[in-house]
Structure 1
Amino acid sequence: MTDEPRYAVEATQTSVAILEALVDAAGPVGVTELADIVGVSKSVAHNHLSTLRAAGYVVKRAETYEASLRPLALGERTREGLGFYQAAKQQLDNLAAATGETAALFVLEETAGAPVSIAEPEDGWSVPFHAGERLPLHVNAPGKALLSSLPDDRVESILDETELAAPTDATIVDPDELTEELRRIREDGIAFCRGEQYEGIIGVAAPLSEVSGSRIAALGVCGPVERLNGRYLREDITGQVLSTTKSIQVALTSN
């Protein structure tokens, strides 16, 4: 199975490609350069830019274009619509402050994990991804925590649709091995990632199952192996992650 649409709308794909190219660009981009990046004619690029500009997603500066902040507004409104976000956000900030490490809240989006919020203390590890970005589930602790919250048939379906790519030599790419790890996570209530997404980076996460209707969420901490190891990782950090998830559940139940 794949996520490819049966009847893809080429014009929509082109508009999305143009918008993403503008977001990725270091500065404003001209029509000719943008057409080359996306692989369309100059006239096609101009038509899409004009449409996106009229809708408020693109800003024109002289003869160049750049992405507007309107997608940010959509993301913020979507996030505010998550019933658990406000309660979890404060707890997430507290967790980052208490551990001195980066903490993140993830939700399940189809076959990927999307960070809802990321809290980075001053001396914490800066993650190379952004809130809202879709990430593979099998490579990080929050993703594996999300998978562990799902019934076996849903996990099997997701794994069938997912290419288990290996960003590092430590990444688990064997479905049977991953399934066995998910079983252990369900038993222990905690997920670990040991250099499976980024070399030298350790993660620990716990699921926040069914915190908002059909939404599945997970909360975790990640940082360099030089700091996150041994008893400090297994007991202190793990304990704080579990305690924080329980506090969020209590806050949601009492509202």
Structure 2
Amino acid sequence: MAPEENTITATRTSLRIVEALKRLDGAGTTAVANHLDIAKSTVHNHLRTLEDEGYITKEGSAYRVGLRFLELGEYKRHRMDIYETARPEVASLAEETGEMANVAVEEHGEGVYLARAEGTEAVTVDTYGGKRVNLHCTALGKAILAELPEERVDAIVDEHGLPARTENTITDRAALKSELADIRERGHACDHEERLPGLRCVAAPVTSVDGDPVAALSVSGPTSRIKGDRFHEEIPELLQSAVNVVEINLTYS
């Protein structure tokens, strides 16, 4: 995101340093300075301040993101109606399919996983509560994009691009818009190994009474199991049923 007038440079630097610690899975002052191309003395001062305030920890010579961020994230998550409302349906989807079920929302043009549940046959993937992903390469993200106004979709693509995550990722704007039109027509989105090789996903959007996208629910699993009628009919029907329950509860609870 481009810097805006009146933003605070020091705050931006601290946040970039926190992101670098996450990306580097912990690092010392020199490694962070080299990664961000910032003066070592500046990085040192920011790291010490973040440590003093309890937002990062130091283990030996390496600084790491602290658990205070977990406290903030959990506070935010539990304040969201969609999280509390969708969690039981996500658990039911995982139980019924035996696969991984998820709920995600859009924030700042990215998809954010709120919760997941693992069925008895679920494969291990890299998702977790709070993980951020591009919208264009996931079924969850495409389900949400399909319900957004075209100008909002264009703004998201302008800001985040359409990076290729696998050889199947949609990287052309016109192709993405065609895909979103198909999603709107059939009511669910599919991920054909577009973010992770060997993984397929089906997702359906959760919308408000005004038709605005609130979130999306999904079921994902290996291509060896998510195929044929299960991929095109069985899982989409289960998702639509779950979405219906979530939307009713959001509206009337």
Q: TM-score, normalised by structure 2?
A: 0.88
Which amino acid counterpart does residue 147 of structure 2 have in structure 1?
S
SS at match of 1:248: helix
Residue 4 of structure 1 aligns with which residue?
A: 2
* Alignment gaps of 5+ in structure 2: none
Residue 165 of structure 2 aligns with which residue?
A: 167
Change (3 A) 1:20 1:233: same
Change (3 A) 1:59 1:244: same
Q: Is the 8 A contact 2:98 2:122 kept in 1?
A: yes
Q: Is the 8 A contact 2:138 2:191 kept in 1?
A: yes
Residue 23 of structure 1 aligns with which residue?
A: 22
SS at match of 1:139: coil
Change (3 A) 1:100 1:71: same
SS at match of 1:176: helix
- Aligned counterparts of 1:185 and 1:63: Cα–Cα separation in 2: 49
Residue 94 of structure 1 aligns with which residue?
A: 92
Change (3 A) 1:87 1:138: same
Q: TM-score, normalised by structure 1?
A: 0.87
Q: Is the 8 A contact 1:113 1:134 kept in 2?
A: yes
- Aligned counterparts of 1:69 and 1:155: Cα–Cα separation in 2: 34
Residue 196 of structure 2 aligns with which residue?
A: 198
Change (3 A) 1:188 1:20: same
Which amino acid counterpart does residue 229 of structure 2 have in structure 1?
R
Q: Is the 8 A contact 2:148 2:213 kept in 1?
A: no
- Aligned counterparts of 1:172 and 1:215: Cα–Cα separation in 2: 21
Which amino acid counterpart does residue 123 of structure 1 have in structure 2?
E
Change (3 A) 1:160 1:23: closer
- Aligned counterparts of 2:48 and 2:128: Cα–Cα separation in 1: 28
SS at match of 2:54: coil
1:231 shift after superposition: 0.8
Q: Is the 8 A contact 1:210 1:217 kept in 2?
A: no
- Aligned counterparts of 1:36 and 1:159: Cα–Cα separation in 2: 29
SS at match of 2:81: coil
1:113 shift after superposition: 1.1
Q: Is the 8 A contact 2:208 2:247 kept in 1?
A: no
1:193-245 deviation line (CA, Å, top 9, x unaligned): 11111122111000001389976211111111100000111121111111111
Q: Is the 8 A contact 1:201 1:225 kept in 2?
A: yes
1:136 aligns with 2:114: no
1:122 shift after superposition: 4.6
Identity of aligned residues (%): 38
- Aligned counterparts of 1:207 and 1:151: Cα–Cα separation in 2: 14
Residue 176 of structure 1 aligns with which residue?
A: 174
- Aligned counterparts of 1:135 and 1:31: Cα–Cα separation in 2: 27
SS at match of 1:84: helix
Residue 125 of structure 1 aligns with which residue?
A: 123
Change (3 A) 1:207 1:49: same
Q: Which moved more, 1:236-245 or 1:35-44?
A: 35-44
Residue 252 of structure 1 aligns with which residue?
A: 250
Which amino acid counterpart does residue 144 of structure 1 have in structure 2?
K
User: How many residue pairs were aligned?
Assistant: 252
Q: Is the 8 A contact 2:207 2:247 kept in 1?
A: no
* Alignment gaps of 5+ in structure 1: none
Q: Which moved more, 1:61-70 or 1:43-52?
A: 61-70
How large is the Cα RMSD of the aligned pairs? 2.5
